[in-house]
Amino acid sequence: MLRFSPYKCCISLTMKPSPALSKMSFSRFASFLYLLSFVLLLQTVVGVDPLFHFCSSSEKFIDNGPYETNLNKLMGYLYLAAPPTGSGKGSVGQNHDQVNGLALCRGDVSNTDCKDCITEASTEIRKLCPDNKAAIVWYDHCLLKYSNMNFFGQVDYQNRFYMWNLNNVSYPTSFNQKTKELLSHLAQQGFVNQKMYAVGELELEESKKLYGLTQCTRDLSSSDCKKCLDDAISELPSCCDGKEGGRVVGGSCNIRYEIYPFLVNS
């Protein structure tokens, strides 16, 4: 088991719709747009922010020691190995200095975007967790995780966070039922393909649609993937009850639903 902090995060996915916007005069709105495009531009240059990260609470490595050398080698390997298939894992070094790591890109992300995300993640995680032997960071497009423990093939129930849309749906009971139905269906589908990834849609009332995604890291067996996803689905009432969108994101699997299409090609 990885020794990350058991801290559960609750961060919100989207801002509340701002009533201030409708009251803005045109010039203020224009400068707001300008500022927004500047911020977006800056984001493309500097990169996107991680969704969340955990640093291992206890064990640290020594600057420029063998562990760090192995970690650097592993990062260099993963960013080349993962993009062609969307996933990579590897171990470098032996005994106390062994580093195990994996990188996973969201199933729809292109090779280039996958590579960009892993590059960004491997730089950023070293800033966020400079000398921690184990760490994990999540982005919209990828996940990067490493540890001195060999965690391959084990469901990570410890590193997990939620995100949700602040907006409430009008009919929470039937909506919750639908999200569960869609994601459970995808959890069944996902583990039968090699990518351990599934996406799908469900019709809602008033010609609205519900979009869903499930994905596991590919070190898991099919049955563990299913276990991980079912466990994540069972968390939905805690985070996302009656919310327009929600995600349960973990170190071994993640689920997401939205009432808008959120994939690259949808």
Ligand X SMILES: *[C@@H]1O[C@H](CO)[C@@H](O)[C@H](O)[C@H]1NC(C)=O
Q: Which stretch binds ligand X (CB under 6 A): 87-95, 106-114, 163-171, 180-188?
A: 163-171
Nearest position to ligand X, beta carbon: 168
- When the beta carbons of 64 and 170 are compared against ligand X, the nearer one is 170
Contacting ligand X within 172-231 (CB under 6 A): none
Rounded CA Rg of the chain = 20
Number of residues that bind ligand X (CB under 6 A): 4
Among 11, 166, 192, 264, binds ligand X (CB under 6 A): 166
Query: What's the CA gap between 80 and 73, in Å, rounded?
Result: 11
Shortest Å distance, C-beta 16 to ligand X: 5
Query: What's the CA gap between 154 and 89, in Å, rounded?
Result: 14
Count of other CB atoms within 10 angstroms of residue 102: 26
x/- map, 4-43, ligand X, by CB under 6 A: ------------x---------------------------
Among 31, 111, 150, 168, binds ligand X (CB under 6 A): 168
Residue 152 class from Cβ within 10 Å (0-12 exposed, 13-18 middle, 19+ buried)? middle
Query: Contact 212/202 with Cβ under 8 angstroms?
Result: yes
* Residues whose CB falls within 8 Å of the CB of residue 187, separated by 6 or more in sequence, listed in order: 198, 214, 226, 229, 230, 233, 255
x/- map, 118-157, ligand X, by CB under 6 A: ----------------------------------------
Contacts with ligand X, residue ranges (CB under 6 A):
16, 166-168
